[in-house]
């Protein structure tokens, strides 16, 4: 066994068996953290380290390929089987976490929103160590009383799992006063975070709908039933970043409410703009989001995938 192979094995044992960080290994081996990262990559390429994934999530590869082709998506993952909505969302979010794991690298900026899909995804992310990962909260706080659904908490949680940093928006997603809205957007910390949100590499988001009166925005108290019905009459099919849009992806402003978030156009910037949603009820907003270029990677269940293919014919 040559000394190089010894080095690869030693680094792999320290990292995978003993759970040491790359910085700690660098100290032991008297080298730099980037060098340790390259050594671990080499160990995998040489077959010294073999990663076996036992995925509990069953996927439908044929339907995934059909959806990817029909909607001209960068990628699509369709979860097999028929499930209750919350169970399906958990499975899709877990699949999204696995997908994220496959595309993560050093020096990456991740934009996130709020809601149950992002929360489930956050729970499913496996802790890993990267260099220079920054997680950006792209939309203000919901203030639902449930911090696990809010972007502020989720950004901190994801950055902690990936040994990165985070940038938060310490302001509500909506305000009722235009003067207050203008003042908040001039606040340096909020300005800095929203500018960062324009330069992400990956975005993780659910896709909101107003076709259900139990939507997150209604439960958070930002919309009432009258607001919801009024927006539907105006042609609103869904929302991303707390911004309403129609079937063409055009933003429809809210009356007497002002949004604190990155613009919809920010979703067109990243290499991977990943949307997670389930149930055929979400077909109109999902289709609009994809056609407008806000989402280039869709992770969904079979019922939504089949409905999207029907609408696309």
Query: Which residues of 3-139 form beta strands (DSSP E)?
Result: 75-79, 108-112, 133-137
The two structure tokens encoding residue 97: 């976490």
What is the percentage of the chain residues whose pLDDT exceeds 90? 66
Question: Other C-beta atoms within 10 Å of 57: how many?
Answer: 18
The two structure tokens encoding residue 245: 């849009």
DSSP-derived 3-state class of residue 47: coil
Assign domain 3-45 to a CATH class: mainly alpha
User: Which residues on adjacent β-strands are paired with residue 172?
Assistant: 141
pLDDT at position 218: 78
pLDDT at position 214: 64
Domains 3-45 and 61-312 equal at CATH topology level: no
Assign domain 61-312 to a CATH class: alpha beta
Residues whose CB is less than 8 angstroms from the CB of residue 186 and which lie 6 or more positions away in sequence, other chains included: none
- Paired sense of beta strands 165-167 and 133-137, if any: parallel
Kindly report, residue by residue over 254-290, the tens digit of the pLDDT: 887 899 999 999 999 999 999 999 999 999 999 999 9
Structural domain boundaries in the chain: 3-45, 61-312
**Average pLDDT for 188-206:** 97
**Chain centroid to CA 13:** 32
Kindly report, residue by residue over 231-253, the tens digit of the pLDDT: 999 999 999 999 999 999 999 99
CB 22 within 8 A of CB 33: yes
Q: What is the DSSP string of 128-146?
A: ---SSEEEEE-B-B---S-
pLDDT at 112 over 50: yes
Query: Cα(59)–Cα(159) distance, rounded to whole angstroms?
Result: 28
Q: What is the DSSP string of 1-14?
A: --HHHHHHHHHHII
Task: Using the Cα atoms of residue 64, residue 291, residue 275 and residue 131 in order, give the sign of their dihedral.
Answer: positive
Query: Which residues of 255-296 form beta strands (DSSP E)?
Result: 258-259, 272-276
Q: What angle do CA 99, 102, 106 make, to 5 degrees?
A: 125
Query: Cα(96)–Cα(174) distance, rounded to whole angstroms?
Result: 28
**Average pLDDT for 55-73:** 91
| DSSP H/E element including 27 | helix 22-29
């Amino acid at each position: 066994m040559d000394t190089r192979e010894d080095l690869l094995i030693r680094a792999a044992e320290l990292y995978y068996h003993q759970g040491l960080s790359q910085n700690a290994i660098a100290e032991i081996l008297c080298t730099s953290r980037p060098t340790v990262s390259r050594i671990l990559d080499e160990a995998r390429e040489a077959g010294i380290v073999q990663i076996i994934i036992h995925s509990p999530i069953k996927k439908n590869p044929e339907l995934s390929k059909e959806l990817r082709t029909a909607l001209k998506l960068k990628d699509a993952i369709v979860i097999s089987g028929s499930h209750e909505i919350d169970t399906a969302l958990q499975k899709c979010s877990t699949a999204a976490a696995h997908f994220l794991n496959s595309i993560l690298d050093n020096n990456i900026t991740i934009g996130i929103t709020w809601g149950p899909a992002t929360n489930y995804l956050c729970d499913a992310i496996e802790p890993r160590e990267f260099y220079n990962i920054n997680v950006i909260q792209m939309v203000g706080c919901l203030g639902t009383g449930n911090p696990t659904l809010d972007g502020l908490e989720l950004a901190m949680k994801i950055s902690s799992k990936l040994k990165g940093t985070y940038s938060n928006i310490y302001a509500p997603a909506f305000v009722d006063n235009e003067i207050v809205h203008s003042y908040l957007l001039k606040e340096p910390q909020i300005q800095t975070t929203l500018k960062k949100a324009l330069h992400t590499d990956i975005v993780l988001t659910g896709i909101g709908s107003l076709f259900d009166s139990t939507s997150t925005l209604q439960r958070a108290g930002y919309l009432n039933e009258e607001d919801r019905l009024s927006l539907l009459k105006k042609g609103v099919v869904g929302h991303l970043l707390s911004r309403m849009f129609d079937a063409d992806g055009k933003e429809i402003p809210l009356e007497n409410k002002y949004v604190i978030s990155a613009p919809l156009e920010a979703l067109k910037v990243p290499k991977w703009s990943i949307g997670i949603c389930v149930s055929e009820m979400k077909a109109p907003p999902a289709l609009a989001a994809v056609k407008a270029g806000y989402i280039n990677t869709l992770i969904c269940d079979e019922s939504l995938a089949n409905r999207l293919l029907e609408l696309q014919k």
